[in-house]
């Protein structure tokens, strides 16, 4: 029984630490972005939402080259768009 208590205590400590770290990220206003290359060679960006955003290199280059156009669109339609922290 002593081992079960120790495991329960460890789980409780880990849950508390996890909650503390998640609170720290929320206090910063956003989570840090993480990049990962998938099995098929796509680049996945984690940390924007619940699911990663995955595109191939050529798609990322095309999207990034349109940055000013996207920024302009966001500015022009600011009143219609929702914000998410």
List the one residue out of 32, 40, 70, 34 whose CA is nearest residue 52: 34
The one-digit pLDDT tens for each residue of the chain (85 residues) are 555 678 888 888 988 988 888 776 666 666 689 999 999 999 999 988 889 999 999 999 999 999 999 999 999 999 999 988 6
Q: What is the pLDDT of residue 54?
A: 98
**pTM exceeds 0.75 for this model:** no
| Cβ atoms of residues 63 and 73 within 8 Å | no
Rounded Cα gap, residues 36 and 78, in angstroms: 31
């Amino acid at each position: 029984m002593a081992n079960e208590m120790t495991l329960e205590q460890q789980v409780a400590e880990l849950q508390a630490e996890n909650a503390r770290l998640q609170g720290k990220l929320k206090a910063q206003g956003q989570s840090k972005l993480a990049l990962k290359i998938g099995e098929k060679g796509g680049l996945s960006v984690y940390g924007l939402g619940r699911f990663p955003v995955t595109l191939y290199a050529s798609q990322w280059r095309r999207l990034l080259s349109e940055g000013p156009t996207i920024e302009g669109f966001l500015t022009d339609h600011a009143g219609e768009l929702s914000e998410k922290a």
